[in-house]
Amino acid sequence: MFRIGQGFDVHQLVEGRPLILGGIEIPYEKGLLGHSDADVLLHTVADACLGAIGAGDIGKHFPDTDPAYKNADSANLLKHVWNLVKEKGYILGNVDCTIIAQKPKMAPYIPKMKKRIAGLLEANEEQVNIKATTTEKLGFTGRGEGIAAQAVVLLKNINL
Ligand SMILES: Nc1ccn([C@@H]2O[C@H](COP(=O)(O)O)[C@@H](O)[C@H]2O)c(=O)n1
Ligand SMILES: C[C@@]1(CO)OP(=O)(O)OP(=O)(O)OC[C@H]1O
């Protein structure tokens, strides 16, 4: 049996924060603001996984009112989500993600992000695709006020 899920998330770019994206740190003059480390890409992948198993969203599992998640490493949040997926008997088919950011240029960092996400989902790198796009300077992403990310995940149940 197959299940699909999709995720979408946005975080604001501000000065004085490191830019953590896809589980790696990217050199940039600004970073993402959030209760956690604000890794918008890992949040999106986590939400897609939760969607696929019908388990709500990351806000439900890791409330932003809980001090336990203050500056949390989103890789740990995704690992927790992935354990829920595995408990239900699923393995990854594939995940396809899009980062929506005017700057910085993501292409040089995508191989490292891919490797990190594949590791967190206990999958091969061939099962993970990450794309990046600008919005041609339009809207909040185009003005560099924030970064958005989207993901679609396909899970396969090994028991059904
Ligand atoms: N932050 C970004 C945005 C885009 N890219 C790469 O550039 C290509 C062209 O982007 P357009 O928005 O002009 O279509 C895109 O396909 C990506 O390969 C990037 O690396 N980082
Ligand atoms: C990840 C959590 C964890 O506290 O906080 P944020 O980093 O603010 O991220 P968001 O995507 O706004 O919501 C989910 C949160 O609960």
What's residue 77's pLDDT? 98
Mean pLDDT of the chain, nearest integer: 97
Residue 28: give its domain's CATH number.
3.30.1330.50
Please say if the pLDDT value at position 160 is more than 80: no
Please say if the pLDDT value at position 159 is more than 90: no
Ligand 2 atom 1: the closest Cα is on which residue? Answer: 36
What's residue 76's pLDDT? 98
- CB of 132 closer than 6 angstroms to any ligand 1 atom: yes
User: pLDDT per residue over 57-96, tens digit each?
Assistant: 999 999 999 999 999 999 999 999 999 999 999 999 999 9
Which ipTM score applies to this complex?
Answer: 0.89
Per the structure, the complete domain to which residue 16 belongs is given by: 2-157
Question: Rounded to whole angstroms, how far apart are CA atoms 150 and 160?
Answer: 28
Give the pLDDT band of residue 158 (cuts 50, 70, 90).
confident
What's residue 136's pLDDT? 98
Mutate-to-test residue for ligand 1 from 32, 99, 129, 133, highest number of ligand atoms within 8 A of CB? 133
Q: Under 8 Å CB-to-CB from 69, ≥6 apart: which residues?
A: 35, 36, 62, 63, 77
Question: Rounded to whole angstroms, how far apart are CA atoms 26 and 50?
Answer: 26
Strands (E) across the chain are located at: 2-14, 19-21, 24-26, 31-33, 90-100, 128-133, 146-157
Report the predicted TM-score, pTM, of the whole model to 2 decimal places.
0.96
Q: Provide the CB-side half-sphere exposure for 46 (13 A, CA).
A: 27
Q: Indicate the number of domains in the chain.
A: 1
Calculate how far, in angstroms, residue 139's C-alpha sits from the geometric centre of ligand 2: 22
The predicted model gives 21-48 an average pLDDT of 98
